[in-house]
Chain A
Amino acid sequence: MSDVLILNGRLVDPANGMDVERDLLLRHGRVAAVEKPGELRAIKGKEILDAKGMIVAPGLVDVHVHLREPGQTYKESIKTGTTAAAAGGFTSVVAMPNTVPVNDSVAGLEWMLDAARGAVVKLFAMPAATFGSMGEEITDYHELQRAGAVGFTDDGKPVLHDRVMRAALVAAAGIGVPISQHAEDTRLTGGCSMNAGPVAFRLGLRGMTVEAESKIVERDIRLLRDIERHDGLRPHLHVQHVSTAKAMSLIRTAKADGLHVTCEVAPHHFALTEEAVGEYNTNAKMNPPLRNDADRLAMIDGLMDGTVDCIATDHAPHALFEKEQEFERAPNGITGLETALGLALRVLHQGRGMSISRVIELMSAQPAGIVSLEGRGALSVGSFADVVIFDPAAEWSFAVKDSRSKSRNTPFDGASMLGRVMATISDGRVVFKG
């Protein structure tokens, strides 16, 4: 592995409180030196990246992606999904377990994480919280952690039963990893395909209520309190893709009360509203659904005030034929890895004045912290050489035809983005060049 020298860039490394011009030397997959411009002399054999006018930041971390392998490689594979991740500036992604079969065993997890899958960036995984994600019996957290699990989730479905969720939180607390919950009371959402409200009524679609999300968040927080009080443990609940003001408010309160709750928001939930469904556009169909503007603004408020711990894409590729169906029949989800940074900078930085450093923190150091990725999410000397270099001033339009994902299901084709990834370096290797 050759050395990589990144020169003349503006290093924005929130974990180290850095926002200053620095040159970086990456050697043997690690950050070998971070120095003032001019201090690192070019040595032969180095790959030199001129980052003049660019931001050099820790590689982005996405704690919520669906890579569809094994079982649904017509939608995406670990290779294509991580290639899209690299193009989006991500150097670490956490794969959800709703593959076919469900990732609920050590053998399944090891197969997924095997280098033979061809991951282009660092791949982590959250195996299923319960066998088959059926919500009945928790999987073997100890063994799975030993094989690399960074948390557990039944994503796509909630862990519905109180008793099972409690057991999952207790077991995960024992080994210091989060339970990542898809907060949806599926008893309330049968047949629903978008947000409940006047738009759903007009379109004749059954709607998912705000309560379907908030009830599960409320229940899970209650379980955290109960476990802290009675079991002497400190469980970590991570709430996935928060979409409603009500759930956000519950999380804010729980955090203020000192409970270990973290949460993520997906770019589409701060960029779009239910109006995007338009004439039954299946690329505006996801779960949780796009909500109304008050909810969207509450997501932004949560991001601004620190209630939200990270931005996660919920990258959910689906084949064209699956999305070219009746709205109610089309599967939930959109791709997101290549548009996350551009949307975050456009909506949060340009639109709401969030500092670039804070945007980066929400997409690197903080998500890395949620799943305890040692040596990632910061550019300290000795850290893994995971770097994104992007032009923060570049305004561009995302074109889905150029996507590296195997799928094309995004509502953001043609949408204007701010900030363009120029290079992504994973473990010291340049894995993407824009």
Chain B
Amino acid sequence: MNSMTILDAGTVAAGSLLTVAGLSVEEVAAILTATDRLERMAAAERVKILAGRRIALLFYESSTRTRTSFELAAKSLGAMTTLVSDKSSSIEKGESLKDTGLTLRALGAECIVLRHANSGAPYLLAKMTGLPVLNAGDGMHEHPSQALLDLRTMLARLPGMSGRLVNAKTLDGVTVVITGDILHSRVARSNAMLLPRLGARVVLCGPKELLPEDALGLGAGVEIERDFDKALKQAASQGAAVAMMLRIQRERLAGLELDLGDYISRYQLDQERLTAKAPEALVMHPGPMIRGLEIAGEVADGPNSAIEDQVRHGLGVRTALLARALGAGGFESVTI
């Protein structure tokens, strides 16, 4: 007999985004369409969309890009934002995530953007508060808005993509090589779960310590190739190539020893490697990057690099996600 299935109490409010797995391709398309629409809108119009609405940014981990872009996105929609961080709040005194969430709700927060060091924390917050929660990165689990902004960056930068409708074939012929510390990367998980559903091949690349075989369980369309040169070359030979580089997350290594010299020689994306193996590849990095480690400075600043585009698209995509969370700006039907 099969193992038993059990009930999991608590529901997650519509408009939440906790994992890319919960998004249908149609929803992805709707988010990107809304991003375009909101971006084109006059600032004076956009600021009315969430005028007077309250959004809490709850950050248990440091962040530059994600926090700032969510905050600027909220403000561009006219929402009031408040930032709560673990360093300057009652979290330091031992207040639980549940109580912190309930407090924010009592203060009128209508949506919480959460960054947390524990995988799954956004589920807890969403179920405890009943509020729409946007996962701004949870432990080693997911960073869904990053995957969406990465997708938008690819659509904007890869040849022949602009204006394409988002569906299950949009990224046909695109190979995304995600290289580095896959084990600890929420960005890798979100991208590896999202992009194949739009037709892309995702090739994960890295040493065993940072890329266990278990990663293949992320879903169909995900492969492992430990030889970075081979992965790049193969990607370039089959159509459009994307080289997505990841930082080694020293804060999560938990005792794992790594020979950095060896790592750099095998996995750093430098100009020579890029030119030799995939000269047309789009270079991406979710940041923060460590120049000279996973990526050479000249590549990060070079013509193939989409790193700053990613940041810009982050602002746009997060504007749409906040409008969606609060059922406004074209998402009126989503949360009702």
Contact = CB atoms under 8 A, between A and B. Distances in A.
Say whether A associates with B.
Answer: yes
Interface of A: 190-191, 196-207, 271-273, 275-276, 278-281, 283-284, 293, 296, 321, 324-329, 347, 350-352, 411-415
Nearest to B96: A325
B3 A200 contact: no
B139 A204 contact: yes
B163 interface: no
Interface stretch (B104-112, B113-121, B277-285, B311-319): B113-121
Contacts of B8: 278-279, 281
For the complex, would chain B's binding face be called helix, strand, loop or mixed by DSSP majority? Answer: loop
Given A201-B214, A328-B139, 13 more contacts: A198-B215, A201-B212, A201-B215, A201-B217, A202-B217, A204-B119, A205-B119, A279-B8, A324-B96, A328-B118, A347-B1, A352-B1, A415-B6
A199 B6 contact: no
Nearest to A328: B118
Contacts of A412: 6
Interface in B80-105: 96-98
A204 B128 contact: no
A251 B36 CA distance: 62
Contacts of A190: 254-255
B96 A204 contact: no
A347 B218 CA distance: 30
B192 to A, nearest CB: 10
B217 A203 contact: no
A278 B139 CA distance: 17
A273 B120 contact: no
A200 B119 CA distance: 10
A80 B3 CA distance: 30
Nearest to B118: A326
Given A324-B98, A326-B121, A202 B218 contact: yes
B142 interface: yes
26 contacts: A190-B254, A197-B214, A197-B217, A198-B218, A201-B217, A202-B193, A203-B141, A204-B189, A205-B120, A205-B139, A206-B140, A275-B3, A279-B8, A280-B123, A321-B98, A324-B96, A324-B98, A325-B124, A326-B118, A326-B120, A327-B118, A327-B124, A328-B118, A347-B1, A347-B4, A414-B7
B216 interface: yes
A324 B124 contact: yes
Interface residues of B, number: 37
Given A190-B254, A324-B124, A414-B7, A198 B217 contact: yes
A204 B123 contact: no
B331 to A, nearest CB: 23
B183 to A, nearest CB: 8
Contact of A271 (B3, B96, B116, B254): B3
A296 B119 contact: no
B138 interface: yes
Contacts of B98: 321, 324-325
B281 to A, nearest CB: 26
Contacts of A350: 1
B125 to A, nearest CB: 9
Q: 10 tightest CB-CB pairs across the interface, nearest first?
A: A198-B217, A280-B120, A204-B141, A351-B1, A204-B140, A204-B119, A326-B118, A201-B214, A273-B3, A411-B6
B152 interface: no
For the complex, would chain A's binding face be called helix, strand, loop or mixed by DSSP majority? Answer: loop
B197 interface: no
Given A204-B142, A326-B97, A271 B120 contact: no
Given A284-B6, A329-B118, A191 B215 contact: no
A204 B138 contact: yes
A279 B123 contact: yes
A388 to B, nearest CB: 23
Nearest to B182: A201
A208 B254 CA distance: 14
B120 to A, nearest CB: 3
B4 A196 contact: no
Contacts of A281: 6, 8
Contact of A201 (B1, B9, B116, B218): B218
A190 B183 CA distance: 16
B3 A325 contact: no
B96 A413 contact: no
Nearest to B186: A204
A230 B1 CA distance: 45
A279 B120 contact: yes
Contacts of B128: 324
Given A326-B97, A347-B1, A198 B216 contact: yes
Q: Which of B119, B139, B141, B255 has the most chain A CB atoms closer than 10 A to its own CB?
A: B119
Interface string B161-199: 000000000000000000000010010010001000000
B112 to A, nearest CB: 15
A145 B118 CA distance: 44
A385 B88 CA distance: 62
A271 B4 contact: yes
Interface string B113-152: 0001011110110001000000000111110000000000
Nearest to B19: A279
Given A271-B4, A293-B3, A324-B98, A203 B216 contact: no
A96 to B, nearest CB: 25
A350 B217 CA distance: 32
Contacts of A199: 217
Contacts of B189: 202, 204
